[in-house]
């Protein structure tokens, strides 16, 4: 009888492990699917997909890609933590911003796609962590210095182009449309 119980427990543990493994694989595929919403299909098809823990900051590669783009899968419901896909210069810009560097380190313009839209705490403060969130329509961004002297708007718009975080070293061009 004891041997039967041991075999039953072992079978149950094995089945549970298989179920958990299948759920983890499904979760990864759901994250990648969410990340794919950020970029044009031709870019998403060959991109690397990453997840960054919102508690530890650990980067997990969910799928290695074949082109130079990296897609961050985001975390639903977290302001400013939306899916995006970026070229290497854009990722360098994001790294500088995340580290609160005095200015972005990229030496050429970067491109970041957020074709599922996005949210942020502020259109003027790059490091705001509270307030009334702004909601951004589908857009793409040019991560390169741009100033209000350009004549472009410096407040959020639902269409057209505007400058986010104007007057800071992290000012960048927001183009509200799908390319």
Q: How many domains, the chain?
A: 1
What mean pLDDT is predicted for residues 13-39? 68
What mean pLDDT is predicted for residues 101-105? 96
Q: At 155, phi and psi to the nearest 5? A: -125, 155
Tell me the CA distances in angstroms from 115 to 46, 51, 66, 121, 139, one per residue in order.
17, 18, 21, 19, 5
Q: What is the CA radius of gyration of the chain?
A: 20
Per-residue pLDDT tens digits for 49-99: 999 987 888 999 999 999 999 999 999 999 999 999 999 999 999 999 999
**How do strand 84-86 and strand 110-114 relate by DSSP bridges?**
antiparallel
Quote the CA–CA distance of 28 and 78 in Å, as a whole number.
18
How many Cβ atoms sit within 10 Å of the Cβ of residue 111?
A: 21
User: Among all chains, which residue has been given the structure tokens 């900051």?
Assistant: 57
Answer yes or no: is pLDDT of 149 > 90. no
Answer yes or no: is pLDDT of 4 > 80. no
Which of 64, 74, 109, 103 shows the shortest CA–CA distance to 91?
Answer: 109
Which of 89, 36, 82 shows the shortest CA–CA distance to 63?
Answer: 36
149-165 burial, b at 16+ Cβ within 10 Å, e below that, comes to eeebebebeeeebbbbb
User: In the structure, what pLDDT confidence band is assigned to residue 114 with cuts at 50, 70 and 90?
Assistant: very high
Query: Residue 111: which domain range?
Result: 2-176
DSSP-derived secondary structure letter, 77: T
């Amino acid at each position: 009888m004891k041997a039967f119980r041991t075999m039953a427990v072992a079978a149950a543990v094995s089945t549970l492990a298989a179920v958990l493994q299948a759920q983890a694989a499904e979760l990864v595929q759901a994250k990648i699917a969410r990340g794919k919403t950020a970029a044009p299909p031709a870019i998403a098809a060959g991109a690397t997909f990453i997840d960054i823990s919102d508690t530890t900051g650990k980067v997990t590669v969910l799928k290695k890609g074949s082109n130079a783009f990296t897609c961050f899968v985001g975390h639903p419901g977290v302001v400013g933590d939306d899916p995006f896909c970026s070229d290497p210069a854009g990722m360098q810009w994001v790294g500088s911003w995340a580290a609160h560097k005095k200015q972005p380190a990229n030496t050429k313009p970067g491109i970041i796609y957020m074709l599922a839209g996005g949210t942020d705490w502020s259109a003027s403060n790059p490091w705001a962590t509270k307030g009334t969130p702004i909601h951004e329509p589908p857009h793409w961004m040019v991560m390169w210095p741009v100033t209000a002297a350009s004549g472009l708007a410096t407040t959020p718009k639902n269409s057209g182009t505007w400058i986010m975080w104007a007057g800071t070293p992290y000012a960048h061009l927001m183009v509200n449309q799908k390319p």
